[in-house]
Amino acid sequence: MKKNWYKMTLMTVALGAFTACSDDDNNIPEPPVTIPTETVGAYILNTGNWGGNDASIQYMDIEKGTISADLYASANGEALGDLGQDLCLYGSKLYTTVSGSSKVVIMDKNCKIIKNIPLTNSENQPVSPRYMTAVDGNVYFTAYDGTVSRLDTLSMNITGSVEVGDHPEALTNANGKLYINISGYGSGKNVAVVDLKTFTKIKDIEVVLNPYTQCITADDGYVYVVSNGNYAGDPKKPESEWIYQTMQRIDPQTDEVKNICPATYIANSGDKMYLLYAEFYLPNTHKAAIYDLKTGKESSFIDIASIPSPSSMDIDPITGDVYISNAPYGSTSDLMIYDKDGNFKKKLSAGYATAKVVFVTK
């Protein structure tokens, strides 16, 4: 039964075209532009438990509304590793960073390994790769050795690395540049900027304390960054020292920064930014909202009480459905699905600590 299901899943996955990151593989002639009209599935990356070697990748059949078992384990006969951090679909391949196992894995559309890239420094110590973005035939990823590396998608080799700052985290690309959150392990206050043509760091942009897991380029062309602050509400700190989790906007033309509103997780669809705000010590301030990027007005989305432990938020690019994972510590995640207006549609069970949902369209 499992073998039959797995074969059916692979056939379903093969029907889809991939939507994530950016353009196609380098040096490959581009086919005529087609506009996707249907979402057929989604890959789900589960981080797993610290030291548990239980990171996993699942596949969701949108039409059936079902989530597979661990697709990666089924395809390769082994676990993905310890702490799956990020997942990217680009061209014909999947890429994942596995932070605890210090590796980048390149896979085909069925999660079969094409290349496994262990990552260590000059002293043979793990560097813990973190987040990815892709553009112009390259996948770029951060690592805890303070670098961003460039992975050529055609040769599947790392072709360069640049030092950007202490504990770089999420990153995005806009206007020929990379924007990289420099968390400083909680003490950082900068977003590093790297010129893509020269692959050199050109500046730091000061932001609110601890820019971390959220750094995206929205449909309006601006870069949006979330800083985690310093655990506002911590009873050990006076209120005058609280620094709140904050969404900021960077203009990639001028690199000017503007504070927008409180946020912990963000996801963009058109002129709407979906927000989850969940300060650990301030439960009475928690909210889920929609911020209008044109008007600056905010409206309610859902009752965030239904998501007590949010760990990710992603949006179906075709339907606008919003996927929010609820991941209680040590337990498997619930994947909650809402339409674009906040009407509840479905709850599905995923793996441990769901971190990313990447959609497959055709």
Cβ atoms 107, 113 nearer than 8 A: yes
The one-digit pLDDT tens for each residue of the chain (362 residues) are 434 443 334 434 443 444 466 444 455 555 566 788 899 999 999 999 999 999 999 999 999 999 999 999 999 999 999 999 999 999 999 999 999 999 999 999 999 999 999 999 999 999 999 999 999 999 999 999 999 999 999 999 999 999 999 999 999 999 999 999 999 999 999 999 999 999 999 999 999 999 999 999 999 999 999 999 999 999 999 999 999 999 999 999 999 999 999 999 999 999 999 999 999 999 999 999 999 999 999 999 999 999 999 999 999 999 999 999 999 988 899 999 999 999 999 999 999 999 999 999 99
> pTM above the 0.75 mark?
yes
Spatial separation of the C-alpha atoms in residues 103 and 120, rounded to whole Å: 9
The torsion angles phi and psi of 168, rounded to 5 degrees, stand at -70, 145
- Percent above pLDDT 70 for the chain: 91
Segments in 115-270 forming alpha helices (H): none
Quick one: pLDDT at residue 28?
55
CB of 314 closer than 8 Å to CB of 39: no
What CATH architecture is 2-361? 7 Propeller (2.130)
Q: Is 117 exposed, middle or buried (0-12, 13-18, 19+ CB in 10 A)?
A: middle
**Helix-strand-coil percent breakdown of the chain, rounded to 5?**
10, 50, 45
Contact 275, 289 (CB under 8 A): yes
Give dist(CA 290, CA 274) in Å, integer. 5
- The 10s digit of each residue's pLDDT in 22-79 is 444 455 555 566 788 899 999 999 999 999 999 999 999 999 999 999 999 999 999 9
142, 168, 191, 229, 237 from 268: Cα distances, Å = 22, 22, 20, 22, 33
Q: What is the largest CA-CA distance in the chain?
A: 60
Q: What residues does each domain of the chain span?
A: 2-361
Query: pLDDT tens, 231-277?
Result: 999 999 999 999 999 999 999 999 999 999 999 999 999 999 999 99
